[in-house]
Structure 1
């Protein structure tokens, strides 16, 4: 497919011109390439290293969504003309493959999680009601197996305040939950189904006095990167960095939460 090959070549050429120090990465002494490595682009863009490698190789079945393309454009420091060119190449490659490039916010979020299945750290997608709509295998070890919960309980807020397991898995449970409540407070202004939101808040207030106090404080917080400690059943205490992806195509209805190891 010529457009897929052109897309792959364009990505390789842009990656080669970005210096590690421009991306906030150490150059090191054993680096043979002047530009970024594939795995570095993948990490900075919040995608699987294997998936990005396949994209650069022009393989079939690798179809980046618009928000992933925007993330790649940011990491590769593309200007406006180059960004539009990147989107055109990806759209035409999707047309060549007979794929609809327009996905719903939830479908885009699920696609990101699906592409992150090989990552050894949690990646999950949620909506504005905190319903967990997709998760990779690593999420089970750090959080819980959401597939074992009923549909109405497959909700991150409910799990945090209503499941004893959450207090076991999160050593800093109070700080973590207070942070999530403040984030949800901000998002709640854009919730279309206000009746369900009010029912959720009423239920959570009933089962958790801590939630009631934090909700009533009206503290709000943007989706910012922060650390979170986990008590992993096999690995013990592990600290990961939360990175929330909520591009314009998913806002306000969905977002994806990545977890990365804390290296410094």
Structure 2
């Protein structure tokens, strides 16, 4: 078996284990017990709920060379009560095809011009690992040190490692957890990628929150929402934001904000 396939199997096992450990018996209709020594469900309970052999399920968590069918994946998703993003991630990392090569994250000049044209609406473009590839003046004013031409801006590094991020983002914990969940999802679909591995290492070494949250294996996807941002004058402003995939640029996303 190839190294990539082995990494995918380990990733699937890690995801299943994280899902099992954070599920409670009451969530899936099982009686609880004060005698439980480990969090979440037991492997045998997940296997029973999914209608598969406990040994076979254990092999899945251990990253053994077993290949779950679509029917088994559906059964596991139902047994664990997965949300849409979790279900999509389960099927993606269990796919037979190896993950695609991480695309080059180069800014398209035409896309950058569109970002500039959106001013005064804050807008920026991020790559697969959340490097910020293009942004306009309004976005730079809004997120301050996150968007400068010194070095290579990265949204995740700014949120977790920059001193002013918690000042700019009044709801820092919620924003940081959501961003890390999206990064965790992308990293899981690209097991062994040096770019994601290095970013994970940097975050977990320098941020106690990232180190604590990463093993939980929360996953997320891009979506519209509302974010509170503290302006340079101290006022807190609510903004709606929407994200779009950039055509012909795999892994790149444009995010646009508007005040409410």
Q: TM-score range by the shorter chain?
A: 0.5 to 0.7
Matches within 5 A, 1:177-192: 177-191=176-190
Matches within 5 A, 1:99-248: 106-108=106-108, 111-118=110-117, 119-145=119-145, 146-151=147-152, 154-191=153-190, 194-234=193-233, 236-247=235-246
Root-mean-square deviation (CA, aligned residues, Å) is: 2.3
For 1:188 and 1:257, how far apart are their aligned partners in 2?
20
For 2:116 and 2:246, how far apart are their aligned partners in 1?
20
For 1:247 and 1:137, how far apart are their aligned partners in 2?
20
Question: Partner of 2:167: helix, strand, or coil?
Answer: helix
Q: Give ranges in structure 2 of 5+ residues lacking alignment.
A: 1-103
**Post-superposition shift, 1:105?**
7.5
| Residue 227 to residue 216, structure 1, CA distance change in 2 (3 Å) | same
| Residue 122 to residue 184, structure 1, CA distance change in 2 (3 Å) | same
Q: Give ranges in structure 1 of 5+ residues lacking alignment.
A: 1-103
8 Å CA contact retained: 1:105, 1:249: no
8 Å CA contact retained: 1:128, 1:188: no
| Residue 207 to residue 107, structure 1, CA distance change in 2 (3 Å) | closer
8 Å CA contact retained: 2:246, 2:252: no
8 Å CA contact retained: 1:128, 1:191: no
TM-score, structure 2 normalization: 0.54
**Post-superposition shift, 1:249?**
2.9
| Residue 250 to residue 236, structure 1, CA distance change in 2 (3 Å) | same
For 2:243 and 2:155, how far apart are their aligned partners in 1?
14
TM-score, structure 1 normalization: 0.53
| Residue 127 to residue 195, structure 1, CA distance change in 2 (3 Å) | same
Size of the aligned set, in residue pairs, is 155
Question: Partner of 1:143: helix, strand, or coil?
Answer: helix
Aligned twin of 1:259 = 257
For 1:166 and 1:258, how far apart are their aligned partners in 2?
19
8 Å CA contact retained: 1:113, 1:123: no
